[in-house]
Chain A
Amino acid sequence: MADPKISAYYQTRMAHFGAVTNDWLAQAQSASAITTTTPPPPSSPPTAATLSDPTYQKPSFSVIDEFNRWRKQPDLAEAVAAIRALAAVIRSSMATTMMQLEIELKSASDSLKSWDTTSISLTAACDLFMRYVTRTAALEYEDFNSAKSRLIERADKFGEISYTARKVIAMLSQDFIFNGCTILVHGFSRVVLEVLKLAAQNKKLFRVLCTEGRPDRTGLRLSNELVKLDIPVKLVIDSAVAYTMDEVDMVFVGADGVVESGGIINMMGTYQIAMVAKSMSKPVYVAAESYKFARLYPLDQKDLAPALRPVDFGVPIPSKVEVECSARDYTPPQYLTLLFTDLGVLTPSVVSDELIQLYL
């Protein structure tokens, strides 16, 4: 049942799962007014003297703290926050050899990953960051300090790319939205929101159908946002997707993770919608940043690491009844038309190409 106002009970639940609500947004914004978006001034590197002093206590640096600090910014994706945190790790590291630095990075990355094991984009971003930053062979031949500054530079660049990824994606997808089109959107993705925002700013005339997105009510949240942008929005319940597919011109979804086969892992219901769209020959576009490319290869739905979310039906359910409470599904690549990423507009088979090049 949709309430015009979100119940407090639901608010609490949403807070538990880290979902973004208007209220949360308001809180976050007030919090972010305190912190700035610029990276913290690098702490002065400890001098050799202090290092060699046996009584010197290494100031504890918690990557999780750093991560949480970055996360407070509402606009920042979790993965980007992780990347920034890892960059900060390098900056504040007191390692004297590359090997040591890499070990520190690895342990920081592991602790970040364990913070939320079900988040694919977090894991993928950490892995990609590690790979991207430590990849240069030339690092072996330089002295440590210049290597380290090179690493910091690359880390910052990676963070920058990831941060501006959304804008790049929005720009790339403008060509695909034409005047008078109807877009079906599923799930609440900030990237997709950015795309639609930019299209509205460019004075394109289109309308959006939002699926309700049970049990998250993502559709409700999204429709709130879209109304603010003056985009005509229509809500459809999840079961009405096939019914309305005729009037739809394209489907836009975000992704939690893009896997090696070119498929995506996204909120539950994406697979269904993609299948319906394919059978009715409607294009399915995915907007995903490149740090979401993961080295996973699910063969079927059950091959994923489970991410569960209890479903609230609004009425009590007898205890003997089981409830399917998986929160996400895997959409195989044959149902997707194009991926909009900061690397460009890609077909699903290119994902593996990129991953091979990076990981080889």
Chain B
Amino acid sequence: MDTRRAPRAVIDPKVRKVGFFAPPEPSQSALPDPIPLPSSSLSPVMIPPPRHSSENLLPHARPPASVVSGASSVSIEGSVVAGGSYGSSSELFPAPMSPASSSYSSSRFVGGGDGDYFLNGVAVASPGRGGGKTAASFPRGGFELPEAKASSVPASELTTVSVVNDSSLGIRERDKADNGRGSALEVKDQTANSKQKKDKTTKAERRALQEAQRAAKAAAKAEGNKASGTVTSGNAKPAKATKPPQKVDNASAAASEKKGCDRPPEKDRKKDVPQPRMQYDDQSRVEKAKRRAVVKQTEARNRVELFRHLPQYEHGSLLPDLEAKFFQLDTVHPAVYKAGLQYLSGNIYGSNARCIAMLQAFQDAIRDYRVPPEKTLVRDLTAKISSYVSFLIECRPLSISMGNAIKFLKTRIAKLPLTLSESESKASLHSDIERFINEKIILADKVIVKHAVTKIRDGDVLLTYGLSSAVEMLLLHAHDLGKQFRVIIVDSRPQLRGKILLRRLVEKGLSCTYTQINALSYIMHEVTRVFLGASSILSNGTVYSGVGTACVAMIAHSFRVPVLVCCEAYKFNERVQLDSICSNELGDPEVISKVLGREDVNYLDGWANTENLQLLNLIYDATPSDYISMIVTDYGMVPPTSVPVIVREYRREQLWI
């Protein structure tokens, strides 16, 4: 068991703010990220070689609001400009310099830099949206400012460095929102240095700089707006340019001071794959993601500080909205849309069910898919699947089983021989998915039940927690075999899934006891075996399962009752997690404040208005491997220390499929 409970002081410089900000929050240190981040040549810790003295003073971090206004004024004045062109998200760098004098063109305004705009938390004055947008491309804008104002500088003087720095920074987070930006980055002479290193400046210095810039902008504003011959961020495909900025209040309210700099730089290099575990405390990325989002969610208020890195939205408002849009969304296949809605509403729950629903939706989507002309099936289909996946993530964050299934699907798509025709490829994928579901989930469950049932003897008292499909199958099978045992079902609010299990078992004639988790230590002395399900098992043997499982396992261990976890091998993950905080899912806090059927328990009504009160509804927790006696998988019964062995063998086997 991990005895270290003190918050970690180590900050991974690649991921976290590097010294410009407020003391780091302990919970947000090292993010176990399974996706290897492509290393960026620009890392926040690298000190960029100074180009211009002025640049050195420029903050590389996202400048606070004030700068934004500066930027906007600049944009208005249009003398200098650089918009970030995210145009091609893959292109890390700024672009073509606009000829000579750059000015922000109105075209820059396209593509909604709203997010950033808001990020900067500034209500940009006059230029309003336009300004805002520019602002978005903002940081660049900010940097350019000095140049710009400095002398209504000719492009040549403008340095790319800072801009570049910024852009690169910005890109990191914004890469996905290619469309968002829309402003071309004016490349100044030094376009050459695409990836400039950021220079580190102190906060005070930056502030001073920004003030100066703002002043300059104000002056420059007078000169009027010149349309900047911007380059197109043309490549910026403003995908959802038309989407009005969302949740303005939130964004602006959110302190931009918060983490301007806090962009995990290397994280979002991959454009087509949405970051599966985005850190939601990073405003810029949240905004970008929101702009691209299909599902509009409002962020919850009163969020628990320790869990700010996880997304939390207000529930209940989206369903009607999404249902209405069912027939309008052409970017998302209806089957996938339906699956997403079912996740959002909570109709489908449990990692196996969610995974199967997702895979079947993908089967439908693949069946209806047609390769657009001039594109290859492999790439285009992979991109499409990725977009579906990001839609599903917006509805509800992926479970690890779903993540593994997606990896499998993408590997299969990538391995399609090029000689196959479109329909053959689709048929092959269809059967691959079918086989995956059958072998890895359905048959695996049967094998697990066969192994685990040998551990149930007559006279046993079995305890289980919540609703796990594997454990339910096991208990029913053991009962069918005629074994004499009784079951204790432990349940917990707010989901109360144990009741479903209770009903199903009682229907089949098993003798059951039902209790809540607060009675666990009271009842544990009668128990002979504990059977638990898992959402995933991590490489160090930690079991990642519904919240409350860790309690059950720990109490069973202290009573020396063996704990058996039933988990299919496809859910195993090579990640390592030491606590339940760094990666989790937050549910709707409302349900905590209400007790079903007890209207008189209304003490927490209006909790959202109380500043000092935050409600936390965690969905998952991590059980250390010391409390687990055995894991039953389709590979047999293994000790928790053997999970990495199975992960290794499983990956190897996958290559041969």
Question: CB within 8 Å of B: which residues of A?
Answer: 260-262, 295, 297, 299-300, 303, 333, 349, 352-353, 356-357, 359-360
Q: When the two chains form the complex, which single residue of B529, B635, B641, B642 contacts A299, counting CB atoms closer than 8 Å? A: B529
B636 at the interface (CB under 8 A from A): yes
Q: Mark B623-657, 1 if CB is under 8 A from A, else 0.
A: 00000011000011111011001100100010000
Q: When the two chains form the complex, which single residue of A300, A349, A357 contacts B641, counting CB atoms closer than 8 Å? A: A349
User: Within the assembled complex, what's the spacing in Å between the Cα atoms of A339 and B637?
Assistant: 21
Known: A353-B642, A356-B638, A359-B636. A261 touches B630 (CB 8 A): yes
B455 at the interface (CB under 8 A from A): yes
A-side contacts of B635, CB under 8 Å: 356, 360
B494 at the interface (CB under 8 A from A): no
Do A260 and B562 touch (CB < 8 A)? no
Closest A residue to B650 by CB, please name it.
Answer: A360
A-side contacts of B637, CB under 8 Å: 260, 297
Do A299 and B562 touch (CB < 8 A)? yes
Known: A356-B646, A356-B649, A360-B649. A297 touches B641 (CB 8 A): no
Do A299 and B645 touch (CB < 8 A)? no
Which 3 A-B residue pairings sit nearest by Cβ, starting from the closest? A349-B641, A352-B642, A299-B562
Do A299 and B638 touch (CB < 8 A)? no
A-side contacts of B455, CB under 8 Å: 299, 303
Q: When the two chains form the complex, which single residue of B562, B639, B646, B649 contacts A333, counting CB atoms closer than 8 Å? A: B639
Do A295 and B636 touch (CB < 8 A)? yes
- Since A297-B639, A299-B629, A349-B641 are in contact, a sample of 11 more A-B pairs with Cβ atoms closer than 8 Å, ordered by chain A residue number, is A260-B639, A297-B630, A297-B637, A299-B562, A349-B639, A352-B642, A356-B645, A356-B649, A357-B649, A360-B649, A360-B653
User: Within the assembled complex, what's the spacing in Å between the Cα atoms of A353 and B644?
Assistant: 9
Smallest CB–CB gap between A343 and chain B, Å?
A: 15
User: Within the assembled complex, what's the spacing in Å between the Cα atoms of A356 and B634?
Assistant: 12
B-side contacts of A295, CB under 8 Å: 636
Q: Mark B227-241, 1 if CB is under 8 A from A, else 0.
A: 000000000000000
User: Within the assembled complex, what's the spacing in Å between the Cα atoms of A303 and B455?
Assistant: 8
Smallest CB–CB gap between A330 and chain B, Å?
A: 12
B-side contacts of A261, CB under 8 Å: 630, 639
A-side contacts of B646, CB under 8 Å: 356
Smallest CB–CB gap between A260 and chain B, Å?
A: 6
User: Within the assembled complex, what's the spacing in Å between the Cα atoms of A303 and B630?
Assistant: 14
A-side contacts of B529, CB under 8 Å: 299
The contact size tier of chain B is 10 to 19
Do B642 and A356 touch (CB < 8 A)? yes
User: Within the assembled complex, what's the spacing in Å between the Cα atoms of A262 and B641?
Assistant: 10
Do B649 and A260 touch (CB < 8 A)? no
Do B636 and A299 touch (CB < 8 A)? no
User: Within the assembled complex, what's the spacing in Å between the Cα atoms of A92 and B401?
Assistant: 50
Q: When the two chains form the complex, which single residue of B564, B629, B645 contacts A352, counting CB atoms closer than 8 Å? A: B645
Smallest CB–CB gap between A337 and chain B, Å?
A: 15
Q: Mark B557-589, 1 if CB is under 8 A from A, else 0.
A: 000001010000000000000000000000000
Do A300 and B562 touch (CB < 8 A)? yes
B-side contacts of A299, CB under 8 Å: 455, 529, 562, 564, 629-630
Task: Name 13 A/B residue pairs within 8 A (Cβ), A-sorted.
Answer: A260-B638, A261-B630, A261-B639, A295-B636, A297-B637, A299-B529, A349-B639, A352-B639, A356-B635, A356-B638, A356-B642, A357-B649, A360-B635
User: Within the assembled complex, what's the spacing in Å between the Cα atoms of A352 and B644?
Assistant: 11
Smallest CB–CB gap between A164 and chain B, Å?
A: 27
Do A352 and B630 touch (CB < 8 A)? no
Closest B residue to A353 by CB, please name it.
Answer: B645
Known: A261-B630, A297-B630, A299-B529. A352 touches B641 (CB 8 A): yes
Q: Which of A262, A297, A356 has the most CB of B within 10 A?
A: A297
Smallest CB–CB gap between A138 and chain B, Å?
A: 15
User: Within the assembled complex, what's the spacing in Å between the Cα atoms of A300 and B530?
Assistant: 13
Closest B residue to A295 by CB, please name it.
Answer: B636
User: Within the assembled complex, what's the spacing in Å between the Cα atoms of A353 and B562?
Assistant: 21
User: Within the assembled complex, what's the spacing in Å between the Cα atoms of A261 and B641?
Assistant: 9
Q: Which of B630, B636, B649 has the most CB of A within 10 A?
A: B636
A-side contacts of B636, CB under 8 Å: 260, 295, 356, 359
Q: When the two chains form the complex, which single residue of B564, B629, B639 contacts A262, counting CB atoms closer than 8 Å? A: B639
Smallest CB–CB gap between B463 and chain A, Å?
A: 14
User: Within the assembled complex, what's the spacing in Å between the Cα atoms of A349 and B455?
Assistant: 21
Closest A residue to B563 by CB, please name it.
Answer: A299
A-side contacts of B645, CB under 8 Å: 352-353, 356-357
Smallest CB–CB gap between B429 and chain A, Å?
A: 27
A-side contacts of B562, CB under 8 Å: 299-300
B-side contacts of A260, CB under 8 Å: 636-639
Smallest CB–CB gap between A261 and chain B, Å?
A: 5
B-side contacts of A300, CB under 8 Å: 562
User: Within the assembled complex, what's the spacing in Å between the Cα atoms of A349 and B562?
Assistant: 18
User: Within the assembled complex, what's the spacing in Å between the Cα atoms of A133 and B638?
Assistant: 24
User: Within the assembled complex, what's the spacing in Å between the Cα atoms of A300 and B636?
Assistant: 18
User: Within the assembled complex, what's the spacing in Å between the Cα atoms of A357 and B650?
Assistant: 11
User: Within the assembled complex, what's the spacing in Å between the Cα atoms of A352 and B635?
Assistant: 11
B-side contacts of A360, CB under 8 Å: 635, 649, 653
B-side contacts of A357, CB under 8 Å: 645, 649
Smallest CB–CB gap between A356 and chain B, Å?
A: 5
Closest A residue to B640 by CB, please name it.
Answer: A349
B-side contacts of A349, CB under 8 Å: 639, 641-642
CB contacts under 8 Å to A, within B130-176, are none
A-side contacts of B564, CB under 8 Å: 299
User: Within the assembled complex, what's the spacing in Å between the Cα atoms of A261 and B636?
Assistant: 12
Closest B residue to A356 by CB, please name it.
Answer: B645
A-side contacts of B629, CB under 8 Å: 299
Closest B residue to A261 by CB, please name it.
Answer: B639
A-side contacts of B639, CB under 8 Å: 260-262, 297, 333, 349, 352
CB contacts under 8 Å to A, within B441-458, are 455
User: Within the assembled complex, what's the spacing in Å between the Cα atoms of A297 and B529?
Assistant: 14
B-side contacts of A353, CB under 8 Å: 642, 645
Closest A residue to B649 by CB, please name it.
Answer: A360
User: Within the assembled complex, what's the spacing in Å between the Cα atoms of A353 and B455?
Assistant: 21
A-side contacts of B630, CB under 8 Å: 261, 297, 299
Closest A residue to B637 by CB, please name it.
Answer: A297
User: Within the assembled complex, what's the spacing in Å between the Cα atoms of A241 and B112?
Assistant: 79
Closest B residue to A263 by CB, please name it.
Answer: B639
Closest B residue to A302 by CB, please name it.
Answer: B457
Closest B residue to A333 by CB, please name it.
Answer: B639
User: Within the assembled complex, what's the spacing in Å between the Cα atoms of A360 and B650?
Assistant: 10
Smallest CB–CB gap between A332 and chain B, Å?
A: 9
Closest A residue to B529 by CB, please name it.
Answer: A299
Closest A residue to B639 by CB, please name it.
Answer: A261
